[in-house]
Amino acid sequence: MTSGKSSELTRAQAKPRMGTLIEKLHHHDFRYYVLDEPEISDSQYDTLFRELQSLEKQFPDLLRADSPTVRVSGKALDSFQKLRHGRPMLSLANALNESEFLEFDARAHRFLDLPETRAISYFVELKFDGLSINLTYRDGDLFSAATRGDGEIGEDVTQNVKTIRSIPLKLQGKNPPALVEIRGEVILPIASFEKLNEDQAKKGLKLFANPRNAAAGSLRQLDSAVTANRPLTGFFYGMGAVEGASFKAMSEFQDTLEKWGFRVGKWRRVCQGAQEVLEFYREIEAIRDTLPFEIDGVVVKLNSLTEIDQAGFVARSPRGMLAFKYPPRQESTQIEDIIVQVGRTGSLTPVAIVTPVRLGGATVRRATLHNQDEIDRKDIRIGDRVLIQRAGDVIPEVVQVITDARTGKEKKFKLPDHCPVCGSKVERKEGEAAVRCVSRNCVAQLKEAIRHFVMKDALNIEGMGERIVEQLVDEGRVKGFADIFSLKSSDFQSLEGFAEKSSVKMAEAIDRARSPELYRLIFALGIRHVGEQTAKLLANHFGSLEPILSSTEDELTQIHEIGPEMAKSIHHYFADKANRATLNAVLKFLEPQSPKRGSGKGVLAGKTLVLTGTFPTLSRSDATRLIEEQGGKVSSSVSKKTDFVVAGEEAGSKLDKARELGVEVLDEAGLKKLLS
């Protein structure tokens, strides 16, 4: 550890140390949130952050406005103040297809007075689908942040914007301009949007219709602590009022933005002439679905800033810029019917069967309605004309009803109170939006569970798709996970679409799955809330299956990234007799492979440590991470094999046991010494 202990510093020593810490933290925020290339671990970051926090507490008068700790503090507001932009925030004219873009190019030739044969130098970049924001920096410090509002006056969201870690509190580099307004778009990445909606659904709260609405809802929170919990980020592209700097070209300006520490889209290009713009537009359209955030087009700008000025405005849009849009991924269609699907965990999901419609490059026939609460909230009825949308590769969903199109013949829908597949009564737990079939013999659940069990990221039984699983279950050959492993090639020959060769291949694929990596087996079991990442975490943390089976909720929550709900679900799963029987049956055929330990690297390679009590500065999970980063293993119980017990305040029986067995005991400082 390089950090000194704050309690030992005098005021005179604290000031430069705080300066260094602020600089370091800004640097690491930039590496992590802007470049996506962190140089230090989260726990190392936390250590620096806490040291700064504690110095600020000790010397409150030394607190600096650009301290990264301001990102997490701040009182809830009663309302937003109004803020006038230094220069108005305008809008863009649109082109909805290639010929409309070509018309823009022809117009540009006219107003720049250029012959048609001369290629115009355009700057082209993504049109981010978020919420526009205006950041004001004075002498390099973030001074205020405002939403667009009516273009002249917006809402002051400074406190909330400060929680967005990819937005610099201070411009990087020397000689910042006296004043500069930076414009960009605050967005919520698609994955974060989905996660947020999952959380909202679990809490029985309203779902957001799309990432843009979610970003807007997250930024416009009176309590900045709520915003801080939403993984917002932003892309920056433009400029408002400026004093003390000037730029000739858009490309030069954006390069400067990057140097100042902003996140600027890497998909930007100077194009010579309309054809190059069209190429860029098509290239981006081809990768649109793979981007982790939503875009709704590209923005074409004259690269010369003088020319943009010269071109002037038409109806509050700069004449030298254009939003060149992609076809929307929202479409209207009609709900022909609503069916109910039973998932792997028994949840009943209402699904709309819609009149087929092209959307985002695919034909959509079904759209999820999530749950009864969502149907009621949006008042969705069979026969309704609705707006459907897809974001990324998410399952399409019904956004809203076009109520003007109602004829009066639409029919309301209610989820059944019995499972549509096995007929058992369904249950709805308090605080959950989902209705579940709780029968253990539900064929629909079994099919879903088996499909999940054999899928690519789980046991990866190649070629065992949905149709095959369906037939195996329907014909009674597979009643549980273990049955898969006693299937022989002859079992497949009678199935639809199988010949001798393909049957042999299928049996071989099953054989290849008999020694899976441990995490794959854990993931394959389909424990609620346990995705692939969590499964990896469990496998790496515990090293083998046995300790996972006997872990307590407490032990599980101590693992970084495992929350109480997940811990409960994991513990319940393994405590359940039927689940244990299923697992034991599977283990007769499978030999899970334990993760390879720490590759022998790190100062704690091969060492086992036990943590007990609370530590002065480190949290349990931080300590665990630091130890694991150095190749060590953290175990929950003390034995003769334990190398060190790290004891904090209120250490309990583990400390007694260590003394009894003669295991070396360290305090936090001792651990830090060991780690360094």
Query: Which positions touch ligand IVH (CB under 6 A)?
Result: 90-92, 125-128, 132, 185, 237-238, 299, 318, 321, 323
- Return d(Cα 636, Cα 538) in angstroms, integer: 13
Other CB atoms within a 10 A radius of the CB of residue 361 amount to 12
Residue 131 or 348 with smaller CB distance to ligand IVH: 131
Q: Which two tokens stand for residue 245?
A: 């700097």
> H or E segment at 250?
helix 250-260
Residues 6+ apart with CB under 8 A from 143: 136, 137, 158
Give the 3-state secondary structure of residue 249. Answer: strand
d(CA 172, CA 158): 19
Over the Cα atoms of the chain, what is R_g? 29
Burial of 191 (0-12, 13-18, 19+ CB in 10 A): middle
Residue (132 or 642) nearer to ligand IVH, CB: 132
Query: Residue 43 has which token pair?
Result: 């726990």
User: What's the min distance (Å) between Cβ of 128 and ligand IVH?
Assistant: 4
Cα separation of 445 and 434, whole Å? 15
- Our CB check for ligand IVH shows the closer of 92 and 342 to be 92
Quickly list DSSP for 530-570: --HHHHHHHHHHHSSHHHHHT--HHHHHTSTT--HHHHHHH
Coil vs helix vs strand at 377: helix
Q: Smallest distance from the beta carbon of 259 to ligand IVH, in angstroms? A: 18
Quote the CA–CA distance of 604 and 671 in Å, as a whole number.
Answer: 11
List 24, 57, 127, 640, catalytic entry: 127
Task: Scan for tokens 């469990």, then name that residue.
Answer: 538
Tokens of 623: 């300590």
CB of 32: closest distance to ligand IVH in angstroms? Answer: 23
CB 539 within 8 A of CB 633: no
Verify whether residue 127 is a known catalytic residue.
yes
Dihedral sign of CA atoms 470, 475, 479, 485 in order: negative
Both tokens of 142, joined, read: 């973030």
Q: CB-wise, 267 or 485, nearer to ligand IVH?
A: 267
Task: Choose between 237 and 492: whose C-beta lies nearer to ligand IVH.
Answer: 237
Closest to ligand IVH by CB, 325 or 625: 325
Side chain identity at 452, as an amino acid letter? H
Query: Cβ atoms within 10 A of the Cβ of 5, count?
Result: 12
How far is 185 from 144, CA to CA, in rounded Å? 15
Through-space distance between the first and last CA atoms of the chain, rounded to whole angstroms: 6
Residue 420 CB, nearest approach to ligand IVH (Å):
44
Which active-site residues does the annotation give?
127
